[in-house]
Amino acid sequence: MPNYKKIIMFFDEYIAHYKSFLKFEYAKADMINKGLVEQLSDSLTTEQALIMKTNTFEARRIKLVEGCGDTFAELIDGAPEEHREKLKSQHEELSEIIYKIKELNDGAGAIVSERLKKIQKRTAELDVYDGKGALKREHATKSAIFRNV
């Protein structure tokens, strides 16, 4: 029989990690919204560390709940009555945090995608002067854009 006290303690730790991850995601979203590219670039190391820690937690979770079912709901259903309420609340809290992280990442992805489209459009336009000193816009070819990259 699984050690449900150990499982509950693990999920408390797991949730604390995801709360830290969510806090980071809010900070990252703020950097994206404010266009703080340098700070965003510097935060990649932190994000990679959080992802690696998440992977470690996930490996531990798999070993810990082995034989308890494939889903959190099955884990709860198989738990003794005295542990079900705590496991249910942990499941709800973890689900909310993960959903919020996904929501923030989806929003950030949309913002970055739109900004990239604008940058690509701008880099495809060149300011050139006609022979009389007037400014006119011309579209660059892809080879002209990527030649100096």
Give just the sign of the alpha carbon dihedral 74, 78, 82, 83. Answer: negative
pLDDT at 140: 53
Q: Which two tokens stand for residue 112?
A: 């970055």
Question: What separation in angstroms does the CA of 2 have from each of 36, 86, 129?
Answer: 47, 16, 76
Q: Are 73 and 62 in contact (CB under 8 A)?
A: no
Burial of 36 (0-12, 13-18, 19+ CB in 10 A): middle
- Cα–Cα distance, 23 to 43 (Å, whole number): 13
Question: Which range in 1-10, 37-46, 48-57, 140-149 is most confidently predicted, on average pLDDT?
Answer: 48-57
Angle at 105 between CA 16 and CA 75, to 5 degrees: 45
More confident residue, 98 or 136: 98
More confident residue, 84 or 2: 84
Residue-wise pLDDT for 68-123, tens only, equals: 888 888 999 999 999 999 999 999 999 999 999 999 999 988 888 888 777 767 66
Q: What is the pTM of this model?
A: 0.76
Q: Would you say domain 4-115 falls under CATH 2.40.50?
A: no
Helix (H) or strand (E) holding 127: strand 125-129
Reported as a pLDDT band with limits 50, 70 and 90, residue 50 is very high
- Cα–Cα distance, 102 to 17 (Å, whole number): 15
Question: What's the DSSP call for residue 126?
Answer: E
Residue-wise pLDDT for 8-46, tens only, equals: 999 999 999 999 999 999 999 999 989 888 999 999 999
- Cα–Cα distance, 27 to 33 (Å, whole number): 10
